[in-house]
Each structure stands twice: as structure tokens, then as C-alpha cells.
Amino acid sequence: MPTGYRHTRDDVIYPEDEYELTEDGRIPIPYRRTAKYRDGNTIDWLHEEGIERERNHALQSQAGIRGILLPALESARMWFIVIVTGMGIGIAGAWLDVLVKWLGDLREGRCSYGFFYNSNACCTGLDPGEVCQEWQTWGNYFHVKSILGNSMLQASIYVVLAIAFAGSAALLVVTYAPHAFHTGIPEIKAILGGYVFDSFLTPWTLIIKALGLALSVASGLSLGKEGPLVHVACCMAYLLTRLFKEFRHNEAQKRRVLAAAAAAGVSVAFGSPLGGVLFGLEELDTFANESDVMWRGFVASAIAAVALQWVNPFGTAKLVLFQVTFVSDTWRAFELIPWVTLGVIGGVLGSLLIKLNVEIALYRRNSVLRDWPILEVVSVSAVTAAISYLIVFARVQTSELVANLFQECDPTKGDYHGLCNPTATLENVFLLCLTAILKIVLTSWTFGMMVPAGIFLPTIGIGACLGRAMGLIMQSLYRAYPTAWIFLSCPPDPSVRCISPGFYAVIGASAMLGGVTRMTISLIVILFELTGALSHVLPIMICIMTSKWVGDALGKDGIYTVWIAMRRYPWLPPANYRDSGETAASLMKPLNRVVVIEDGVTTVGELQDLLANYDFHGFPIMDSHTEFVGYATKDELRTVLDRLQLDQNEVDLAKKCTFSQNRLRVAAEERVDLSDALEDSIIQLRKEVPQELVVNMFQKLNLRQILFTHAGKLTGLVTKRDVVDLLTSHFPHAAALSEHPQQHS
């Protein structure tokens, strides 16, 4: 037996003893056909469905009460994981919020009566108007009297702690869980689409990503917690699936659970249970395939939101993060002009941010930075902290900035850094635009460094700055020319409010998000649930429409799609593909380039060599006249060969492998029957079919390969990788950041 074969066997994820052999030493039916994938593979949905099907039939055919109870237990396990994941991520999300708030506040000061109180908790129980004495800035705490000394101390603690937080996040990630960097959404999209990436979902990744996320968010780097929370939720669900055999052994079932977990993650990240479901529907593109999956996502999402609300980290008992209270419930037609303009700006800047981010990622990969990831994080966080400290709007956490920018000016509530001062409009607009530009540059750099980092919140921050600036401009125009024809629909008295700059900030955030992520429906729902701005659904829709249109004109893909292409994950974009007249023949790997097994000709020894030498997922089987017989995966072939060895102790390597009735041509003592290894679900096409149809079938049926035959003869094969390469061929940097070596069929 070739050593290659042995060696690969050791890599198998599930050791043999988990099979629970039956009394006569055979592998029991439900577990017999077990797929064994390694990281970097793509699962075969049809094959996994086949396993599931066999399992279900085996369970249902159990006699008596077992035949009823066992399937019910199956489904109960699925729901158990969904519900526990929902609760887990809800609670984890809430406590992460608390941790981030405390770490963030620590950069400015401490609570006099307890180190572990954040500024809000420290100052509770005060009467309105009373000044909080309990929260001490570091200057106060160290009794620094001089103003200069005070600000120097504040600034240096601010910067040093930022560096410490970001550095330790990077250290954790680099040392313990390299996969915990970045947002995680591209990987999860790929995993849900069938990519095998188990090391991305380990318990270590879970812990490091959660801890690192808290540290990196608190460090004030330009990043958000939204995407990474989805990753954390998926890690939790994955951990739970390890408890049950039927999930460990079935990659399709595992993905169904992960989809629900991802929805729960979004639900917690934005406090948006409905947005979570729609994110799963639109961005993860998983629910389209099965209504059950959507249903479970729905439940997980609701439970996660309940758990979050129950923990109630900040005592507001509200899911709406950035409550928006508009003074007027109506909007006026002329406002569509600035709003559509914001949409255009969002589309342009969103595409710019994506391009910049790609260039920086390529530079990072190909320069000396590659070897110094922690140093990079430390330097960027130092620069971020130093610059941010100078600009008043950039100094606070992005979430606080956004909350204030979304707020309308209200004389009774106090003015946020002079934002409502009508005489300082120009300064404010300048500062806001400066903050936006700074954040675009910093975000492009930060998103891709070795720390957990989401893109959502910084994008909202950039958009909110731009939107608020536009709102301030419109407001000052209105104040200057209240009787101009464009403002005719406003009340003639300029002291009455007509323009709501806070809502302009919401519009700006929508535009920017549309430009960066290219999401539509789920984005709108998330923005509603985030702001409560239901009465203004139409402007948000129109603005997202515009920004998506403009963005698509400047570059077809959103930032997640771009990262998927760069890392070369085998993920099929759901976009409509239109060929320009090609047939499948131009995509197909012709027969002479395919490794095949010949029915009744290939010997057991040759087969073992094939299995050891080729990294293909499976092999087509044909007879000596190129007549197509079937397809068998490598794993099935191995399982069947193993079983033969169990039965017969030693298989004669010179015996011929047969798969069909052709075995009659080979004498009984000269052959071994491997027909058990044949796949049931084989899709055959003719090579004359339009390429569109082939791509479409891969997209909708989640196939791994299609075999091409003509008049019963095998002519070639197309794998998922071929289709992915076809669909990403327009993107210049495809596979630039690919981790795994070139995968074969």
C-alpha cells in the first residue's frame, strides 16, 4: 500500500472509533457513508443530502416507538442548538458591550468608588442637571493641576492605552488564532456556500475573536463589532454541533445551523432581529434554498434579541441603538435633491473605500508588512489615536459619534461639541468632512489588519458625518434664504424647523453603507431597526437605490465579495450570469484531461495509487468504450475498499474493480465489486447546453460537479471551481490573498 494513502488517512477529521461498529464489526448504515473533508475542500451538497436521506430513512424505519422518537429527537437537537446559540450570542453580545464600554472609558478616566464601573454606571442615580463628581479623568485622579500637564497626561494615556489594547488584540490573534482577524463575513459566506474551513470555527477562535474584538473596539481603531459578532455566533453554533454525531458527520446539516447562528449574530450586533433574518436572506444567500432554514434563522434571531434585551447591558431596555426622534414626521420633495446627492456621494466614496482597501491589502501582502503584523497594528493604532485625539468628532467611540450625529438639535438637551451652534456651521461642516476623510483612510487600512474588525460601524460613521454636513449646509441655506422658491414648501418662518440635519445623517449612513456593502433590503431593515425611523422609509430606500446604482457602475462587487474573490474562496455569487453565446463546451474540462476509473479495467492497486496521488474530490467511472458508468467520491471509494479489507483480510491488488453489470465480462474471482461507492445523485448534461444553464445549475442546486455525456459516452466535467473562476474572472486581483494552494476537483 502506498504510504501517501496511509498518510492522508491520519488527516481524517473523525477517527474510526467514532463509527460505533456494530456487533459483527461492520460500520452501521447511518454512519457508513461519511464524508470526510479537509479544510479547503468544497462539500458536495448532493452527497451530503444523500447521507442525510439514508440516515432519516434508517431512523424512520426503526420499529415501534423508536421510529417515532428518534426522528423527533433529531429535530429537537437541531432546535436545541439554534435556541442555545441564540441565547448564547445574545448574552455574549451584551457582555461584550459592557466590556467595550468599560475599556473605552478607561482611556479617559476612572470611577472614584470602583475601578470596574464604566462612566455611565459610575454616574447613575444623579438628579437631572447634577454634575457627575464620581467619574474622574486621569488628570483629576493624579491631581495634575496645570492645564498643559493635564492635557498631556490625558492624551498620552489615551494613546498608550489605545496601543496597549490594539497590540494585545493583535498579539492574541497572531499567537493563538490567526483566523480570528478581519470581519469573518466573507469566510462565513463561503462556508455557508459549501467551503470547508473548520479551523475558522474552533473554540480558540471563538474566545480570541470575542476578547480581541472587545480590545480592538476599545482601542479606538476605525472598526466595528458587527461582522465579528456574526463570526462569534457561528463559532458557538459550531461548538454545539460537535456535541451531536449527526451534525459532526453531515456538512449540510452543519451549514443549516450555522446560517441560523449568523442571523442571530446580526440580530445582536445591530439589535435588529428582523434585519438578522434579512441579512441571512440577502447577503448570505442561504435561506433562498430552504424555507426551513429561514424559519430557524427567524427563531434564532428573535431569541438572541430577547436575550440581549434581558441582559439589558445599559439599562435602556431598548433594542433600538441609535434612537432617532424627528421633530417632523414629514419630509418635503425638494429634500430629495440633497438626499440623492448623498446617494451619489455614498456610491462613489464606497467604491473608493473598497478600491483603497484592496490596494492596501495587496501592499500588506506583498511588502515587508507581511512579517510584522503586530507592529503594523501598533503603529496604526498609535497614529489613529494621536490624530483622533486632535479632532473632536473622531475622539469618541464611533458608536457614540453616530448616536449624536443622528440626534436632532434640541435646546433642552445640550449641544454636542457645538454641533447645533448656528454661527459655527462652516467650522462644523469642515470638521465633519475632515472626520469623514480621516475615517475613510483609516478604515481602509484597518479593515484587513490582524485584529478582529467589522466594516459596518466605521462606514455608518463616515456616512453620518457626510450626511450631517449636508444637513447643516441645507439648514444654513434655508436660514439664509427662507423665501427662495426651493424652500416654498417649508413654513415661511425660519425659526420653525424645516430641515432635520439628524435625518440627513441617517441618509448619509445609508448611502455609505449601500456603496460599501451593496446590500439593499436587509440594509434598509437594519437601518430602521437601528434608528426607528420608520416614517422615513422612502427616502432611505431611494438613497440606497441611488448609491447602489452609482456604486455598481464604478465596480460591480461589494466589499465582502471582493474579499472572497481575493482569498479565492469557492463561493458562487448569486448574480445573474449571462453568457455571450458560449456553450458548456468552453467551460468543460474535456475527457482527455480528466482522471477516470475504467470499469472492469482499473485494478485495486491502480485505484489505491489514484486515491493516493490525486487530490481530486472524486472520479468519473466509464467502461472501456468511454460509456459513462457513474461517479464515485474518493471518500466513498476508500470506505468501500476499507470494508473489503475488513471482510477479506487481504485484497489482491491485481483484482479488477467493477461498478456495473459489466462485471459479468470479468470472471468472478478476478474482480471486486465496488458499485456501493457510486453516487446516486449525478447530474449529466450535454456539452451543447448554454453556459448560462450550467452556471445557473451550480448556483441554484449547490452542485460540486456536472458530468457531460453524449449518447451515453462521457465527454467531460465541470467543477464548482471552474464556475467560480469564470464568475470572478472580471476582478483583477482574484486569488491575490489566497491561503490554500490551488484546489483540484
**Range 289-308, binding a second copy (CB under 8 A):** 289-292, 294-295, 298-299, 301-302, 305-306
The residues near 548 (Cβ < 8 Å, ≥ 6 apart) are 347, 514, 515, 518, 520
At its nearest, how many Å lie between a second copy and the CB of residue 655?
24
CA distance 331 to 337: 12
Write down the number of H helices and E strands in the chain: 28, 11
Contacting a second copy (CB under 8 A), which of 11, 129, 330, 669?
330
Binders of a second copy among 245-274, rule CB under 8 A? 273-274
592 exposed, middle or buried (CB, 10 Å; 0-12, 13-18, 19+)?
Answer: exposed
CA distance 705 to 682: 9
Secondary structure class of 224 (helix, strand, coil): strand
Q: Does residue 688 interact with a second copy by CB under 8 A?
A: yes
Binders of a second copy among 556-575, rule CB under 8 A? 574-575
Q: Does residue 681 interact with a second copy by CB under 8 A?
A: yes
CB of 441 or CB of 585, closer to a second copy: 585
Strand partners, 135: 111
Q: Select from 48-56, 204-212, 380-388, 730-738 the region that touches a second copy (CB under 8 A).
A: 48-56
CA distance 159 to 144: 18
Cell triple for 706: 456536472
Binders of a second copy among 572-601, rule CB under 8 A? 574-576, 578-581, 583
DSSP state of 132: P
At its nearest, how many Å lie between a second copy and the CB of residue 734?
21
Write phi, then psi, for 697 (nearest 5 degrees). -65, -40
CA distance 184 to 453: 9
At its nearest, how many Å lie between a second copy and the CB of residue 601?
17
CB of 143 or CB of 578, closer to a second copy: 578
Q: Select from 354-362, 365-373, 397-405, 680-688 the region that touches a second copy (CB under 8 A).
A: 680-688
Contacting a second copy (CB under 8 A), which of 329, 371, 493, 669?
329
CB of 269 or CB of 277, closer to a second copy: 277
Q: Does residue 206 interact with a second copy by CB under 8 A?
A: no
Q: Select from 107-115, 246-254, 341-349, 526-534 the region that touches a second copy (CB under 8 A).
A: 526-534
CB of 47 or CB of 364, closer to a second copy: 47
Residues 182, 223: contact at Cβ < 8 Å?
no
CA distance 3 to 6: 5
Binders of a second copy among 2-31, rule CB under 8 A? none
Binders of a second copy among 308-327, rule CB under 8 A? 309, 317-320
**Strands 671-673 vs 656-658: parallel, antiparallel or unpaired:** parallel
Q: Does residue 697 interact with a second copy by CB under 8 A?
A: yes
Phi-psi region of 499 (alpha: psi -120 to 50; beta: other; left: phi over 0): beta
Strand partners, 717: 589, 707
CA distance 174 to 315: 36
Q: Does residue 730 interact with a second copy by CB under 8 A?
A: no
Contacting a second copy (CB under 8 A), which of 100, 277, 513, 677?
277
CB of 57 or CB of 730, closer to a second copy: 57
Q: Does residue 74 interact with a second copy by CB under 8 A?
A: no
Number of chain positions touching a second copy (CB under 8 A): 76
Binders of a second copy among 406-445, rule CB under 8 A? none
Contacting a second copy (CB under 8 A), which of 13, 32, 56, 615?
56
CB of 475 or CB of 522, closer to a second copy: 522
Cell triple for 82: 439554534
DSSP state of 406: H
Strand partners, 195: 42
Binders of a second copy among 134-163, rule CB under 8 A? none
At its nearest, how many Å lie between a second copy and the CB of residue 282?
8
The continuous run of DSSP H or E covering 272 comes out as none
Binders of a second copy among 615-654, rule CB under 8 A? 627-628
Strand partners, 182: 452
Binders of a second copy among 506-525, rule CB under 8 A? 520-521, 524-525
The residues near 237 (Cβ < 8 Å, ≥ 6 apart) are 81, 82, 85, 257, 258, 260, 261
At its nearest, how many Å lie between a second copy and the CB of residue 405?
20
At its nearest, how many Å lie between a second copy and the CB of residue 545?
6
Q: Does residue 677 interact with a second copy by CB under 8 A?
A: no
Residues 204, 176: contact at Cβ < 8 Å?
yes
Contacting a second copy (CB under 8 A), which of 12, 288, 386, 424?
288
Residue with cell 465596480: 555
